[in-house]
Structure 1
Amino acid sequence: MLFFIASGVIAQNVSLSNNALGTSMDRRLLEQEVAPIRSRAELQEYLKFMPAQSPLKYLSPSNRERFLNSLVFSESGLASYSYQDLEMELNALEAYKVLSLFGQQATVALIPGLRQSDGFSKAIMSSVDSREPVNAISGEYRPDASKDPDYPDYACVAKATCGQSMGKICIGANC
């Protein structure tokens, strides 16, 4: 009888873990769905009528242009971006607001070196976790959105393939 009770507890814990993972992915999908910019065309339209209080204005004009030129979109949304200009000029909260335009604010925790000058910035950066490449020989990730969907220092180089690229983040679910 104890065996069955213990098995039930283990199964329940696995189920809770899967639900938490599902909730996390559901939140990410929702964030992306409600984001104002999900394609290059939407980016161009946004830039034409950029609000005075746009988070993109946190970046200097030259760094903003370089950041925007680094964006890679797929049919699913933002697939990768360079974080170097965000890291250079912004704190974690400001970077979070910029990336929320693309529904990818969760990736801000992967950007090393962001200033944490306030409680929000510290909370954002506390969610960092480590990742290992699937193929250590080629150095490429084969993203699995159900596990670790984002890869620092990798860029989307082909559909479902993130290749090493310092200073970039590959969004595995969109690559």
Structure 2
Amino acid sequence: MDLITNVNEYEAIAKQKLPKMVYDYFVSGAEDQWTLQENRNAFSRILFRPRILRDVSKIDLTTTVLGLNISMPIMIAPTAMQKMAHPEGEYATARAASAAGTIMTLSSWATSSVEEVASTGPGVRFFQLYVIKDRNVVAQLVKRAESAGFKAIALTVDTPILGRREADIKNRFTMPSHLVLKNFERVGTWKA
């Protein structure tokens, strides 16, 4: 097993292990990837001010999000189709978030349903919801997430038209045939 010493190394390892189409799906953004680069630039400008000659024997990273206690100011963002990267997909992510004491946000476009993720055990979970034309589908998804114990809806409103993902176009991306968007499996046909 590779010893990972920093977050950037995850991407290099993923590039070695994943098929090109899958790797490109997870690391790329829409259009010329301007927003993706700007997000990286914004994070690079965040600096920590070291506190010198302080008692660090008791460090507390806990915080709250919407009144929910978490172990650190880090949450897991929604990522679609995680089973493309690993057979456990969202199950493993849910268990890892729970073990770390933080929140996982499940993508609407997950390869595991809200019910399946809830069955992995305890944990605080949010559900990312795309606003789609069929409001009946939206209502069903919200009710299912609530019934499964999800604590909040992370509403995604910036996709009235999906972004033009150039890497996916070049790779002729298709979701592997053995996978399905599990949250839509029980709601019939739908249009974004």
Q: Shared fold (TM-score greater than 0.5)?
A: no
Q: Give the TM-score normalised by the residue count of structure 2.
A: 0.27
- Between Structure 1 and Structure 2, which shows a larger proportion of helix residues? 1
